[in-house]
């Protein structure tokens, strides 16, 4: 594959998408958002934190190894464990107590929008889409402040029994608390003294306290559901956050209730606009039952498009019964990309999808069902556009407007990505999935599917990596829908 060709194709695709995006009426985005509060810890901070507690009690708590953060002491214990080993950790907190304590006793350096639906809404708004209708079932006043103020994000609000669309800052529920995830970063060589002991942090890393308030439900307000026509016109829906569904709730409800409601929402969206396309963005889900149910009961046969990274391809294959293929994807190695490709095709077939977009560092693979709505060149353009967005996001941390997205064009195509794809060429041509020429264009014509393979732009020293996956999926999906709309309008 030729590097120069791919640079040129990126540029052309970016400007094609720029022209097409104004044709979109809008996008519906649900369900998850939270606030990420980031604090970089210094030696003084740690000394101060230790000073709030009795050192013997801290030691005891460290020995207990708390698996959830029920009170501030649990946090300190897990922080010390994480720092001692230089190992990343993520621990859930089911109450707000520690959040309040941290706000008062430590504070954060900065906070940003977190959660897939939150990140995707802000991105599409900053790219200038006409309308983004976001639905966050637990939208609080504090959370609403993290939506960008571009005027094109609207949120359903029930007023006197009627659903109206308002800016998030006017649509929140005053009774709701916030879902705040704390991210504590620390650096190598930091000295920690506690309970007479002393250690040096072996490497940079972080501890995350993920907030799981008990009141969180992945669900849609009944009135919003009944008046769902109020969100239209929209051309697509991007749904995420299903990992929040729990097997059982204290009030006796179970995951089955929430799965059923989620599917009703999808069916209603499609009935209100049969042309509407629906994308689900996957993330890692520890609970195998929930992971499997999401795939077989919510995604399969109901939605059109799935976005995920390579680890999630492996995890999905695993619960669908393809264990060997799943291990082969995880192991990477020589057959890694072949397995990834086969795995993505399997997902397309088993889940009856029109499109499976897999992003990896340096290349993307998109499997398309026969009969998908665009040419392979147009599908490729949508992916290349998202590669530019990913580069801009890695470069700048946030893409505030289209001009900033354009800066992604300066980032070179990954040589490693090109090499990985080159190694895949023999597999494709040997199985007659494409000719060597077609491969150069990134086009594959399988017996029961088509596919696009592109090398992507990768930033050497990214200033941020959080949310790049969401950016890629949202950018490509929006660009694809925009091109479909543009064609329909005769352009």
**Cβ closer to ligand ADP: 271 or 465?**
465
Alpha-carbon gap, residue 333 to 345, rounded angstroms: 19
Judged by CB under 6 A, which stretch of 173-181, 215-223, 436-444, 465-473 contacts ligand ADP?
465-473
Of 470, 474, 476, 478, which one interacts with ligand ADP (CB under 6 A)? 470
361 contacts ligand ADP (rule: CB under 6 A)? yes
Alpha-carbon gap, residue 149 to 145, rounded angstroms: 9
**Cβ closer to ligand ADP: 288 or 416?**
416
Interacting residues with ligand ADP between 146 and 185 (CB under 6 A): none
462 contacts ligand ADP (rule: CB under 6 A)? yes
**Cβ closer to ligand ADP: 120 or 148?**
120
Supply the minimum distance, in Å, between the C-beta of residue 460 and ligand ADP: 7
464 contacts ligand ADP (rule: CB under 6 A)? no
What one-character-per-residue DSSP string does 147-163 give? S--SS-EEEEEEETTEE
| Run of H or E residues at 198 | strand 197-200
Measuring CA to CA, how many Å separate 248 from each of 35, 163, 251, 267?
25, 30, 8, 24
Q: Which residues contact 299 (CB under 8 A, 6 or more apart)?
A: 280, 306, 351, 353
**Cβ closer to ligand ADP: 58 or 308?**
308
**Cβ closer to ligand ADP: 213 or 412?**
412
**Cβ closer to ligand ADP: 1 or 106?**
1
Alpha-carbon gap, residue 237 to 355, rounded angstroms: 14
Please answer whether residues 468 and 454 qualify as being in contact, where contact means their C-beta atoms are separated by less than 8 angstroms.
no
Of 223, 338, 466, 487, which one interacts with ligand ADP (CB under 6 A)? 466
27 contacts ligand ADP (rule: CB under 6 A)? no
**Cβ closer to ligand ADP: 472 or 484?**
472
469 contacts ligand ADP (rule: CB under 6 A)? yes
**Cβ closer to ligand ADP: 363 or 441?**
363
Return the percent helix, strand and coil in the chain, to nearest 5: 45, 20, 30
CB closest to ligand ADP, residue no: 469
208 contacts ligand ADP (rule: CB under 6 A)? no
Q: At what angle do helices 310-319 and 323-331 cross, to 10 degrees?
A: 160
Judged by CB under 6 A, which stretch of 129-137, 258-266, 462-470, 477-485 contacts ligand ADP?
462-470
Q: Both tokens of residue 464?
A: 């941020």
458 contacts ligand ADP (rule: CB under 6 A)? yes
What one-character-per-residue DSSP string does 76-95 give? HHHHHHHHHHT--EEEEE-S
Supply the minimum distance, in Å, between the C-beta of residue 246 and ligand ADP: 21
Alpha-carbon gap, residue 174 to 176, rounded angstroms: 6
Supply the minimum distance, in Å, between the C-beta of residue 183 and ligand ADP: 12
Supply the minimum distance, in Å, between the C-beta of residue 470 and ligand ADP: 5
DSSP 412: P
Conformation bin of residue 189: beta by default, left when phi > 0, alpha when psi is -120 to 50: left
Supply the minimum distance, in Å, between the C-beta of residue 478 and ligand ADP: 16
**Cβ closer to ligand ADP: 66 or 412?**
412
Of 231, 368, 452, 459, which one interacts with ligand ADP (CB under 6 A)? 459
Of 394, 451, 452, 479, which one interacts with ligand ADP (CB under 6 A)? 394
Supply the minimum distance, in Å, between the C-beta of residue 313 and ligand ADP: 11
360 contacts ligand ADP (rule: CB under 6 A)? yes
Supply the minimum distance, in Å, between the C-beta of residue 185 and ligand ADP: 15
CA contacts within 13 A on the Cβ side of 172: 17
Supply the minimum distance, in Å, between the C-beta of residue 233 and ligand ADP: 29
Q: Both tokens of residue 138?
A: 């637990």
Omega within 30 of 0 (cis) for the link into 233: yes
Judged by CB under 6 A, which stretch of 125-133, 159-167, 342-350, 353-361 contacts ligand ADP?
353-361
Measuring CA to CA, how many Å separate 60 from each of 43, 50, 51, 63?
22, 13, 16, 5
Of 468, 474, 478, 479, which one interacts with ligand ADP (CB under 6 A)? 468
Q: Both tokens of residue 205?
A: 């890393």
Burial class (CB in 10 A: 0-12, 13-18, 19+), 164: middle
Nearest partner of 342 among 444, 415, 436, 454, judged by Cα: 444
Alpha-carbon gap, residue 141 to 173, rounded angstroms: 7
Omega within 30 of 0 (cis) for the link into 98: no
Phi–psi pair at 431, nearest 5 degrees: -90, 10
Judged by CB under 6 A, which stretch of 8-16, 89-97, 347-355, 454-462 contacts ligand ADP?
454-462
391 contacts ligand ADP (rule: CB under 6 A)? yes
Look up 470 and say whether it is catalytic: yes
**Which residues in this chain contact ligand ADP in the complex, by CB under 6 A?**
309, 359-361, 390-391, 394, 458-459, 462, 465-470, 472
Which of the residues are catalytic? 470
């Amino acid at each position: 594959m030729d590097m120069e060709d791919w640079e040129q194709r990126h540029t052309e695709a970016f400007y094609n998408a720029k022209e097409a995006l104004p044709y979109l009426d809008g996008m519906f985005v649900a369900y998850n958002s939270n606030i990420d509060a980031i604090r970089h810890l210094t030696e003084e901070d740690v000394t101060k934190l230790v000073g709030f507690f009795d050192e013997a009690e801290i030691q005891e708590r460290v020995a207990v190894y708390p698996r959830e953060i029920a009170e501030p002491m649990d946090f300190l214990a897990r922080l010390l464990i994480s720092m001692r080993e230089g190992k990343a950790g993520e621990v859930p907190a089911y109450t707000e107590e520690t959040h309040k304590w941290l706000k008062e006793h430590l504070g954060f350096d900065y906070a940003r929008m977190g959660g897939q639906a939150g990140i995707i809404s802000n991105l599409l708004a900053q790219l200038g889409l006409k309308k983004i209708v976001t639905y966050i079932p637990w939208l609080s006043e504090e959370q609403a402040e993290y939506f960008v103020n571009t005027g094109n994000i609207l949120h359903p609000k029930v007023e006197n029994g009627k659903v109206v669309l308002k800016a998030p800052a006017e649509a929140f529920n005053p009774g709701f608390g916030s879902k705040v995830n704390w991210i504590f970063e620390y650096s190598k060589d930091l000295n920690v003294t506690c309970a007479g002991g002393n250690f040096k942090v072996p490497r940079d890393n972080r501890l995350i306290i993920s907030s799981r308030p008990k009141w969180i439900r992945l669900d849609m307000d009944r009135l919003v559901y009944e008046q769902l026509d109020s969100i239209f016109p929209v051309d697509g829906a991007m749904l995420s956050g299903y990992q929040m569904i729990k097997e059982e709730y204290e009030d006796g409800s179970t995951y089955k209730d929430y799965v059923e409601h989620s599917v009703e929402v999808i069916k209603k969206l499609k009935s209100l606009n049969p042309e509407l396309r629906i994308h689900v963005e996957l993330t890692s889900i520890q609970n195998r039952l929930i992971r499997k149910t999401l795939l077989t009961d919510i995604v399969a046969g109901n939605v059109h498009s799935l976005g995920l990274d390579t680890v999630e391809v492996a995890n999905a294959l695993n619960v669908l019964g393809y264990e060997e293929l799943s291990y082969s994807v995880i192991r990477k190695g020589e057959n890694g990309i072949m397995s990834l490709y086969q795995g993505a095709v399997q997902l397309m077939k088993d889940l009856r999808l029109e499109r499976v977009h897999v992003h990896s560092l340096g290349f993307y693979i998109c499997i398309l069902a026969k009969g998908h709505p665009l040419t392979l060149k147009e599908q490729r353009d949508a992916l290349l556009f998202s590669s530019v967005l990913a580069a801009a996001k890695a470069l700048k941390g946030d893409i505030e407007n289209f001009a900033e997205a354009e800066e992604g064009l300066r980032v070179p195509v990954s040589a490693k990505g090109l090499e990985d794809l080159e190694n895949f060429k023999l597999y494709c041509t040997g199985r007659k999935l494409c000719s060597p020429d077609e491969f150069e264009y990134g086009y594959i014509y399988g017996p029961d599917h088509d596919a696009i393979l592109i090398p992507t732009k990768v930033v050497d020293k990214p200033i941020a990596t959080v949310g790049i996956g969401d950016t890629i999926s949202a950018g490509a999906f929006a660009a694809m829908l925009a091109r479909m709309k543009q064609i329909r309008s005769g352009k």
